[in-house]
Amino acid sequence: MKKITFLFCFLLLSGVLLAQKKQSKLISELDDNTEAYGEIAHKIWSFAEMGYQEEQSVALLQETLKEEDFTVEAGVAGMPTAFIASYGSGKPVIAVLGEYDALPGLSQKAVAHKESNGGVAGHACGHHLFGTASTAAAITIKKYLEETGKSGTIRFYGCPAEEGGSGKVYLTRAGLFNDVDAVINWHPGNANGADPGAALANKSAKFRFHGIAAHAAGAPEKGRSALDGVEAMNYMVNMMREHVPEDTRIHYVITDGGKAPNVVPDFAEVYYYARHTTRDVVIDVFDRMVKAAEGAALGTGTTMDYEMIGGTHELLPNLTLQKLMYDNLTEVGGYTYTPEEREFAEEIAASLNTDLDVKNVEGVSEYNPNPEAGGSTDVGDVSFTVPTVGLYTATWVPETPAHSWQAVAAGGTSIGVKGMMVAAKTMAKTGMDLFDDPAILKAAKKEFEEKRGADFEYIPLLGDREPALDYRN
């Protein structure tokens, strides 16, 4: 009996060591392909395509995955620039998320001072790196399945329009994650870390007011200003701020306020976001905003309609998976600036009025079990459907905020590529570990079901509308 036990333990240990050896080999190969993946990322950076317009970016990523024997299903969930690339069969199914949309009005050259690149958009959130690193990780995990002969499926989800378009919500609503066992994702940042995810639930809409045009001086009494409707709504919503939970966020821009001061505008539009740490509060706040819009229309003699643009859940963290991701990130570690990168980083830091501290570029930030939520992400909806894990890496200079020209600039340099490869290696290691150890997936599923609750019902916050494919027009 002792001999049998010993033999079993020996075989088990041998299997573990062999798996570790194959993982190390594949991570080394991934490192060797840094230049090739960097070239892909820089091409997508130069495309700088906005949400639902990412045709060149998608074509490049699809071709890269097809060359590695992935089967690509394009145009899923009613979105021409959404796709799923799959390799393998059966369980478990591990998914890697990739994004690739840019932000409007943030064209920037890869230099340490503000200088337009002559475009209409820029990768101020680093999604060119996001999509590329996730592609690299998926390919590495695929090679691991090939070399080990393990059963299971690796999928890459091409996710468009994260910036306000809620692409992943449509993927979730269509049930495309229902058979997935775990989801891996990441995001560019100004440090290396793998804390539990934190994000705000969000509902966004464009409110459109319709009035009656007239000469603003000659016959103002015959007109009804649509802009008055917008301004009245804004006034009432701003008064709401005193009467909502303290950590609620409400922001808006007037996208159309008329064309000439001497013409009473017969059309005006305002674009609103409502955010909070929980979806239920967001739903309530948004409903009150609609009432304010209705009241504004009534009071100004105009009519109003609105179009839902986006809606996302908060993130549901999974600590089982998060601990694995953090351990892998710690093993991968950070990177060191070259003298040229250091000079660039110093200039960027000066533009941000801060001193350069590379501690969490060269290393990994301390694990924070309770991070504060700042922005929103449609990964939230995925996280309420399947156990989900993520990380962030130093693709930007420390202290750089997202959605800034400094983020665009760094993302177009070798600094962005180095941070991207830290993410690719960490995600690849995490994915390989999940195929190696079914117990981790079982524990993650148990935690997921307990946190979500037995009576949880998924409600897409954008309702049943079709994807807003023209929301950037």
Q: How much is the average pLDDT of 355-366? A: 97
Question: pTM for this one?
Answer: 0.91
**Does residue 471 form part of some domain?**
no
pLDDT beyond 90 at 399: yes
pLDDT beyond 60 at 10: no
**Does residue 462 form part of some domain?**
no
Find, among 260, 266, 257, the residue nearest to 223 by Cα: 266
Q: What is the CATH number of the domain that holds 266?
A: 3.30.70.360
Confidence of residue 11 (pLDDT cuts 50, 70, 90): very low
Residue matched to tokens 């009245």: 232
Confidence of residue 16 (pLDDT cuts 50, 70, 90): low
Confidence of residue 5 (pLDDT cuts 50, 70, 90): low
Whole-number pLDDT of residue 457: 93
6-21 core/surface letters (b: 16 or more CB in 10 A; e: else): eeeeeeeeeeeeebee
Element (H, E) at 83: strand 83-89
Whole-number pLDDT of residue 20: 85
Higher-confidence residue of 288 and 4: namely 288
**Does residue 148 form part of some domain?**
yes
**Does residue 469 form part of some domain?**
no
Q: How much is the average pLDDT of 115-129? A: 97
DSSP code per residue over 310-328: EEEPPP---HHHHHHHHHH
Residues 58, 168 share a domain: yes
Q: Which residues span the domain enclosing 236?
A: 201-312
Residues 389, 330 share a domain: yes
What does the mean pLDDT of the chain come to? 95
CA distance 59 to 313: 29
Residues 342, 302 share a domain: no
CA distance 466 to 432: 36
Number of domains in the chain: 2
Whole-number pLDDT of residue 9: 53
Distances (CA, A) of 350 to 117, 338, 345, 356: 21, 18, 9, 8
Whole-number pLDDT of residue 12: 47
Residues 392, 308 share a domain: no
Residue matched to tokens 């919500």: 169
- Are 411 and 396 contacting, i.e. CB atoms less than 8 angstroms apart? yes
Residues 249, 186 share a domain: no
3-state helix, strand, coil in the chain (%, to 5): 45, 20, 35
Residues 236, 161 share a domain: no
DSSP code per residue over 23-34: HHHHHHHHHHTH
State how beta strands 93-99 and 182-189 pair: parallel
Residues 32, 60 share a domain: yes
Q: What is the CATH number of the domain that holds 8?
A: 3.40.630.10
CA distance 356 to 375: 24
pLDDT, tens only, 50-84: 999 999 999 999 999 999 999 999 999 999 999 99
pLDDT beyond 80 at 13: no
Distances (CA, A) of 454 to 383, 446, 449, 450, 458: 15, 11, 7, 7, 12
**Does residue 441 form part of some domain?**
yes
Residues 128, 61 share a domain: yes
> What are residue 360's phi and psi, to 5 degrees?
-95, 10
**Does residue 466 form part of some domain?**
no
pLDDT, tens only, 269-312: 999 999 999 999 999 999 999 999 999 999 999 999 999 999 99
Residues 242, 348 share a domain: no
- Are 311 and 203 contacting, i.e. CB atoms less than 8 angstroms apart? yes
- Among 312, 340, 365, give the residue marking a domain's end: 312
- Among 295, 312, 329, give the residue marking a domain's end: 312
Residues 233, 357 share a domain: no
What letter would DSSP give residue 169?
H
**Does residue 286 form part of some domain?**
yes
Residues 262, 222 share a domain: yes
Residues 447, 400 share a domain: yes
**Does residue 457 form part of some domain?**
no
